[in-house]
A and B are shown apart, each in its own frame.
Chain A
Amino acid sequence: MNVSAEALYVEPTLRSARRPLAGHIARSLLLILLAGYTAFSAGPFLWLASMSLRTTSEISANHYALPSILHWEKFPAAWFGSSYGTYFLNSLEVVVAAVIVLTLIGAMAAFAFARYRFRMNRVLYFVIFSTIIFPPQITIISLFQVLVDYGLFNSLVGLTLVYIAFQLPLTVYILESFFARVPQDLFDAARMDGYSDGAIFWRVMLPIGLPAIATTVILNFILLWNEFLYAVVLIADDAKRTLPLGIQKFMGDQLEDIGMISTGMMISVIPVVILYVFFSEKLIQGMTAGAVK
């Protein structure tokens, strides 16, 4: 359901129409409170952005000043000198591969659940969906054992496979509820044109389902980009670390190089920010999809 900005506005209440001054004061007070909350909410992130452009000695001198010189060179320094480039690329490899495969098989499964009638339909759907509530601890130890048994421990491939399985329930859930709402006539028409089931999937379902698919792609990307627990258990080599692990590694170093850590953190946050800036509506809709009845 599309929620445009205009729909958020309600007509002015009759009460305040009767007492305009009180209404004005109340509104200004509210604005101040909200502005305060916004500073609270977005503040840490802006502080991070500011620190990522200052050197550690500048920060130690005054932790909260704005950058006097914009040290853009810190970014390449972090990328090449402090291996953030490696970690970024590892994260990119794993997350992109996982999201591609995940979207594909998730869409196929969602299509099957949404548009076909068969006996085990609801049972299987519930089984997959219910794993959303599983705490990761129930699988982390045995996944470690499983990956070791298959020689996939400490490999980006192994991590990718785990990530695919990890996000499958949510993907299937979001896509299934969208796919099921598509009017049947479209499929009937396609069938009458002689399309096979596979063709219906590729040529009818996917194009129509693109908004929901886009949402799950963005959602999965962000959730997997930030994923930490599985990565920390299943990756041991420094060269294979994903970004969250890479950042954690620098926190472990003896003398906290706040400037460099900030720059590294910005590097990890930037892709998410870009996605958010361009797709905020989609993203918000997607994330709220499960929560709004």
Chain B
Amino acid sequence: MIRSPVRTLAASVAVSLLALVTSASAVAQTKLTLWSHWADQDSKVAFVTDAVKRFEAKHPGVKVEITWYQKPQLYAALKTALRAHQAPDIFYAENDQTEYIDNGFLYDLSKDLNWSAIEPWAKQAWTFGKGTYGFPLEAWTVELYYNRDLMNKIGVTLPENGELSQAAFLDMVKKAKAAGITPIVQGVGDRPYPGAFLVHEPLLRKLGKADYMKLLKGELSWKDPRVIETLNYVKQIVDAGALPKAYTSIKMGEAHYYFHTNPGGLTFPMGSFYPSRAFNAPDKGGEPPNFPLGLMSFPAMDGGKCNNCKTLAAGGSFVVNAASKNPKLAVALLNEMATPEMGARWVKETLVQTGIKTDMSAIKGEHADYFKRLADASRGIDYFVGLPSQILQGQPKEVFAQVMNTAFPAGLLSVKDATDQMEAAMKAASK
């Protein structure tokens, strides 16, 4: 009477455990797995999916399984999966993740990838020690987008090169605020770098490339008078109420939406991958039709050493897992994308720059107008390769994200406190 329920109980437990175990075993066929960011950026999804299809056509019997993620979740999944030897063959990475290389998780691509098609500076961004570990598909510059109609509305006319002086820029912010328009839209709810654009672009322009690099490497003090001057200026902008109140919690996608749709903003400092979300269909988070998008420049710093400097960063790249069972096949998949035609296609469809050698002037098509603006904004620019989050490592990187990306632009820290914290972190790291 009591016995049979017990037996069936035991049996069901055994069966369910068995089912769990067997369902986990994979089916045999050559399979490549690819994990990538960009889950909500349609144009990039289309690009990669298309390249994969062509690859599968060329290699019958090989199936590629793509999983699309949002970046924070992707990074979290990879960190544990890599340690557990369950990471995919190919995955998205950025060149600030040197820990992958330090722990031998990445396959060296220097011999197998089609490097002749890649820009030298892009290859350099992924070269560490003797190997090159990433395929720099995406590259982007730090831009300042703005709404042309709203700019007219507050009565500000930009000069030809889209660059205002420090005073004029601050004045523009105040005018927008008075008119009830958010002067600078930004959100750092889910990213450790976009808030810092407002800090490091002026710093770059004031210090010039060489000293700016020294600052990030810990060779120049954060208490340097030029640094303090620049940060004081940024503080003025912050104190004028330039950023949204919910700045610390607005997510990147939400910030895009805030700028171009609701409630709308005057300017939006963003990487040039802005079109990846903004040019989606409106109901998928894209701009409303005929949105008056403009491109301007960060303010020209008084006594700035390099007012035509701009940050260029290697963006989303693909790397191959060192523990992959089919590394050569994986690289073959990447080579499918590493051609001039695919480079041109990338630029045309995603409207973001690329590390592949591409003739930008040959791009025509649907968004030619935007391209012209981007080309105009890029004239005579001197590029500095690398974001602070890509150059700083360890504790300073964490402090930079908390202080310069989040707290200082949010108006929560004084210039003194912010620079104290950066100095302390840089000193501690150099020990």
Contact = CB atoms under 8 A, between A and B. Distances in A.
Are A and B close enough to touch in the complex, i.e. CB under 8 Å?
yes
Given A156-B20, A157-B20, A252 B70 contact: yes
A93 interface: yes
Contact of B277 (A160, A253, A254): A254
A249 B73 contact: yes
B17 to A, nearest CB: 6
A96 B12 CA distance: 11
A173 interface: no
B20 A256 contact: no
Interface stretch (B247-255, B320-328, B340-348, B375-383): B247-255
Contacts of A236: 77, 80-81, 84, 86
Contact of A153 (B70, B86, B190): B86
A97 B33 CA distance: 30
Contact of A144 (B9, B80, B252): B80
A35 interface: no
A207 B2 contact: yes
A254 B3 contact: no
A203 interface: yes
A238 B9 CA distance: 30
A157 B17 contact: yes
Contacts of B70: 252-254
Interface in A155-187: 155-157, 160
Interface of B: 2-3, 6, 9, 12-13, 16-17, 20-21, 24, 39-40, 67, 70, 72-73, 77, 80-81, 83-86, 190, 251-254, 257, 277, 285
B13 A255 contact: no
A104 B285 CA distance: 51
Given A254-B252, A255-B40, A104 B21 contact: no
B285 A254 contact: yes
A97 B21 CA distance: 13
24 contacts: A93-B20, A97-B16, A97-B17, A100-B12, A100-B13, A104-B13, A148-B85, A154-B81, A157-B21, A157-B24, A202-B2, A202-B3, A206-B2, A207-B2, A236-B80, A236-B81, A249-B73, A252-B73, A253-B70, A253-B253, A254-B40, A254-B252, A255-B40, A255-B253
Nearest to B3: A202
Contact of A253 (B13, B17, B40, B84): B40
Interface in A2-31: none
A254 B253 contact: yes
A107 to B, nearest CB: 12
A253 B284 CA distance: 12
A101 interface: yes
Contact of A104 (B9, B72, B73): B9
Q: Chain A: interface secondary structure? A: helix
A255 B285 CA distance: 7
B305 to A, nearest CB: 37
B84 A202 contact: no
Contacts of A96: 16
10 tightest A-B CB contacts, nearest first: A254-B253, A153-B84, A148-B84, A157-B20, A236-B77, A236-B81, A254-B40, A202-B2, A252-B70, A255-B285
A233 interface: yes
A interface, how many residues as a size bin?
20 to 34
Interface in A217-266: 233, 236, 238, 249, 252-256
Nearest to A206: B2
Contact of A154 (B84, B252, B277): B84
Given A155-B24, A156-B20, A202-B2, A256 B84 contact: no
A147 B2 CA distance: 36
Given A148-B84, A153-B84, A252 B190 contact: yes
B246 to A, nearest CB: 12
A207 B252 CA distance: 57
Contact of B254 (A202, A203, A254): A254
Contact of B20 (A97, A202, A254): A97
Contacts of B277: 254
B152 to A, nearest CB: 29
A97 B13 contact: yes
Nearest to A157: B20
Contacts of A202: 2-3, 6
Contacts of B72: 252
Contact of A256 (B9, B13, B254): B254
Nearest to A248: B73
B284 to A, nearest CB: 8
A208 to B, nearest CB: 12
Nearest to A254: B253
A12 to B, nearest CB: 50
Given A97-B13, A148-B85, A154-B86, 13 more contacts: A93-B20, A144-B83, A144-B84, A147-B84, A153-B84, A153-B86, A157-B20, A202-B3, A236-B86, A252-B70, A253-B253, A254-B70, A254-B251
Interface in A253-293: 253-256
A202 B2 CA distance: 7
Contacts of A104: 9, 13
Contact of A233 (B67, B80, B285): B80
A5 B325 CA distance: 66
